[in-house]
Amino acid sequence: MKKYERRVNSIVPFGYKLDEEDKGMLLPVEKELAALETILPMINSRSLSLREGALWLSHKTGRSISHEGLRKISQARDDRHNQ
């Protein structure tokens, strides 16, 4: 597994976990990132609500995420794609 990036605050983003060897680095969690890639198009097309998407992600990955957390991820990806 490759190190992703340096940790900048106390929150570990959905799709990543702390590196046990270097607590300042984040490692990708492929299961969570794949689940995000599955659900985000459905959210963006409004096939699912943010709450439904967050519930599905929590069930599928075993890691909780709020609808607001999912909204922030969706907006950040949209912002990156629009640049």
Distances (CA, A) of 20 to 1, 24, 26, 62: 12, 9, 9, 20
Residue 56: partners with Cβ closer than 8 Å, 6 or more residues away: 35, 39, 48
Directed axis angle between helix 67-81 and helix 50-61, to 10°?
100
The mean pLDDT of the chain is 88
pLDDT digits (tens, 9 = 90+) for 9-25: 788 899 999 888 888 88
H/E element holding 53? helix 50-61
Domain layout of the chain by residue ranges: 5-81
pLDDT in tens, 55-64: 999 999 999 9
Q: List the one residue out of 49, 60, 48, 51 whose CA is nearest residue 15.
A: 60
